[in-house]
Amino acid sequence: MKSNRSSVMILLLSLFIGFSVIALFPTFSNAQSESKTFVTHSGSVIKTSGEIIDPVYTTTVPEYTESTIEFDPMEYLREFNYGNVSTLPDGSALREFTIIADDDQIMEVSPGIFFNVWTFNGTVPGPTIRATEGDTVRIKFINNGSKEHTMHFHGIHPAEMDGVFEIVGSGGGQFIYEFEAGPVGVHPYHCHVMPLEEHIVRGLYGVFIVDPKEERPPADEMVMVLNGLDMDFDGENNFYAANTIPFYYQHHPIQINTNELIRVYVVNMVEFDPINNLHLHGNLYNYYPTGTDIVPSAYTDMITLSQTERGIMEFEYDYPGKYLFHAHKVEFSEKGWVGVFLVNDNQDENIQDSDYGS
């Protein structure tokens, strides 16, 4: 009887230990028979029986189920909003815009990664607002968010239009921002409610372009907001990008033509890191800091930008092909701030019409 009991106890003990080892030893369920391949950064092809997680080369994002935002960086790149234009009694133009702030949107910022972004008109960055110097800009601002928000424009305007002390309440608060567009150049706008860093890095920013009265030469124009995303709220960016989506323009190259003037409005909105930069491959660009002057300050392939520092870059490609552009702070480019210009051979010497200044 006693020895029976002891053997039962030993049996139980060994069973317990055996089961826990089996249950917790790393186990892998049967691999799927179907095998997939992907290409690494160094070019080798890898086969797997499982799934591929690859924010660099994935071109289609499978399910948008959780995402409440559809954002197409390619569309944003060349989308300029001129507002509803009417003429004021004095003959000058009035441009009216409606901007709605929100802070409950979920965006798929990289394949499979979802983030609560705060938005102007439902996207990060917000819409690019464009006017000509001297126009009256009138923005009807509606705050549909659950927090207080404002719009603060860089530029010249009266103090009460600065969007700092005139806090707009949550749940439908409204404010009309009205000022004369100026000075000429490229400027950011962003929410200026405290804690400011949070309101900016969550996505409440956009680009404000003021064109000179005498139009710039026609060009293929685009906007690049250099931004970062701090997914885990540790005060460090996990992703960097031109126009929010990491690696987007790397696997969706921006198509341009040889011998055509390219004009890029670049605004650095990266927080946490003191600098950002832009390096162009196979070419150099004329750089106009803040876009306020018509004479370029530099002919270079590399400029460094601090917070909200911005400018205009102009260049033309002589040779067709694929050219990289990226942060030469390569940590940023390895975290998404990298893209490709696909330069097509421009058979037609006539420069295509751009929708500039409509």
Residues that bind other proteins (CB under 8 A): 2-3, 6, 9-10, 13, 16-17, 20-21, 24-32, 36, 38-42, 44, 46, 48-57, 109-115, 229, 231-232, 238, 246-247, 331, 334-336
Cβ 99 to other proteins, closest distance in Å?
27
Cβ 156 to other proteins, closest distance in Å?
38
Cβ proximity to other proteins, 66 vs 72, nearer residue: 66
Cβ 65 to other proteins, closest distance in Å?
11
Cβ proximity to other proteins, 26 vs 91, nearer residue: 26
Cβ proximity to other proteins, 17 vs 88, nearer residue: 17
Local structure of 47: helix, strand or coil: strand
Instruction: Answer yes or no: are the C-beta atoms of 56 and 251 closer than 8 Å.
Output: yes
Cβ proximity to other proteins, 123 vs 238, nearer residue: 238
Cβ 232 to other proteins, closest distance in Å?
5
Q: Using CA atoms, how far apart are residues 351 and 263, in angstroms rounded to an integer? A: 14
DSSP letter, residue 31: P
How many Cα atoms within 13 Å fall on the side-chain side of residue 5? 2
Q: What six digits make up the tokens of 114?
A: 């979802």
Q: Cα dist. 35→47, 69, 105, 161 in Å?
A: 6, 32, 36, 59
Cβ 33 to other proteins, closest distance in Å?
11
Q: Using CA atoms, how far apart are residues 136 and 282, in angstroms rounded to an integer? A: 41
Cβ proximity to other proteins, 48 vs 174, nearer residue: 48
Cβ proximity to other proteins, 133 vs 273, nearer residue: 273
DSSP letter, residue 347: -
Nearest CA among 242, 147, 162, 230 for reference residue 195: 147
DSSP letter, residue 123: B
Cβ proximity to other proteins, 214 vs 232, nearer residue: 232
Cβ 253 to other proteins, closest distance in Å?
18
Cβ 54 to other proteins, closest distance in Å?
4
Distant-in-sequence, close-in-space partners of 78: CB < 8 Å, separation ≥ 6: 220, 221, 222, 223
Cβ 336 to other proteins, closest distance in Å?
7
Q: Using CA atoms, how far apart are residues 348 and 257, in angstroms rounded to an integer? A: 10
Cβ 73 to other proteins, closest distance in Å?
17
Instruction: Answer yes or no: are the C-beta atoms of 304 and 249 closer than 8 Å.
Output: no
Cβ proximity to other proteins, 16 vs 319, nearer residue: 16
DSSP class per residue in 195-256? SHHHHHHTT-EEEEEEE-SSPPPP-EEEEEEEEEE-TTSSSS-SEEEESSSTTHHHHSPEEE
Cβ proximity to other proteins, 230 vs 260, nearer residue: 230
